[in-house]
Structures are given as structure tokens and as C-alpha cells.
Amino acid sequence: MKVTKGKGVLKKERKEVLKPVEDRTLGKRKAALKAVKSSNKRTKNAIPAKKDPNKPKRPPSAFFVFLEEFRKVYKQEHPNIKAVSAVGKAGGEKWKSLTDSEKAPYEAKAAKRKSEYEKLMIAYNKKQESTDDDDDGEEEEEQESEKSKPELHDDYEEEEEEDEEDDEDED
DNA sequence: CCAATGATTGTTTAA
DNA sequence: TTAAACAATCATTGG
């Protein structure tokens, strides 16, 4: 598939660029998102999505990986700072300040995280194929016995403790 | 008291 | 391809 790779048409500023819905960035996604979360927790106000017993969450992007560390540091320098937005803004600004080389380790981590996600997704898919009841989406979460391990095929190793390999990339 | 919101960017997915 | 929603975090606020 030849996409317009040569042309960086994809600006991707955000969705609010042309299709926007009245409000800028937030609004709809939050509404739905929150509804899901709340439903997932206690309240049964679930409007969107269904409850997936073991659905793998999306792997954190390099930015999020960076943020995790950044937040910690930020708190140290600004213990009085409250609100997630403060760290978010500061982190975003800092992130832009980083160069590819500096972002590299974070991207690497994110990439690794993604690998696990793919594996997780496969396992999740297997379970999904079992669920073919279209009558009502009431499925019981089957208890997982970690004791008995249904070995997957030789393709994937389940649970591989990833060791931190120290590869220093010279600049 | 509980749940939602805010802000950042990147990734992931569906159409 | 494009648009959009979702990933974490946590104090504060609103119902």
C-alpha cells in the first residue's frame, strides 16, 4: 500500500482542527469515557462499550512512559503542585523539548510495552472467540487458574520476564 | 460519599 | 486515510 508517505499530510494536530464539534478537544470522549469507567467500577451507568473482563488496556505511548517518570520528578520539584493538568502541561512542554535521542529510551520502552500488549491481545482474542452468545451480553467471567497453565503454542512464551537490557546507543 | 473532570501527546482501532 | 477515542494521574469539586 502506497500511502502518501512522502508528503507529511498527516498533521494530526488533533481532531478539533476541522471536524470539530463545537467544543475543542474534550467533551465527547470524556463523557463516554467517564461513563465507562464509572460503570466499570460500581455504578451501572454504562452507556457505551461493554464490560470486558480481561481486556488489555492500551499500552502507554512513549509520552506516557516519559510522563510516569516526569510526574515523579515534577512532584519532587513541585510538591505543592496539585492537579493533573499541571504535570500534563509541564510534561508536554518538556516532551517537546526532548530530542529524538532523548525520547528514544522512552519509545523503546513503549515499544516493548506494545509487544506485551500484542501478546495479551492474542490471549484476549482466544477468549473472545469463545463468546458467541449474541442473545444477551451477560457473560460470566471464568476464573483463571494460574495453577494450570494451558501452554500456548510454541509461538508465544507466556509470561516472559523481560530483563532490562542495557544497550547504550551512542549518539 | 462517590464519581467525574482536567491536560498532556501518542497509540490504537474502526470506518 | 482520517478522525476519534482512549491510555495514567490525583486533587478538587460538584451533586
Residue A59 CA to nucleotide B13 C1', Å?
Answer: 13
The CATH number for A112's domain is 1.10.30.10
Query: Does the pTM of the predicted model rise above 0.85?
Result: no
From the C1' of B10, which residue's alpha carbon is nearest?
Answer: A61
- Three cell numbers at A45? 451507568
Secondary structure class of A74 (helix, strand, coil) = helix
Domain annotation covers residue A37? yes
- Grid cell, residue A71, equals 510526574
State pLDDT tens for residues A35-83. 444 444 444 444 455 566 667 889 999 999 999 999 888 888 887 877 8
- Find the Å distance, CA of residue A44 to C1' of nucleotide C7: 22
Residue A40 placed within a domain: yes
Residues 6+ apart with CB under 8 A from A133: A139
Instruction: Measure, in angstroms, how far nucleotide B11 C1' is from residue A70 CA.
Output: 19
Q: DSSP of A104-145, one letter per residue?
A: HHHHHHHHHHHHHHHHHHHHHHHHHHH----S----PPPPP-
* Residue A169: inside a domain: no
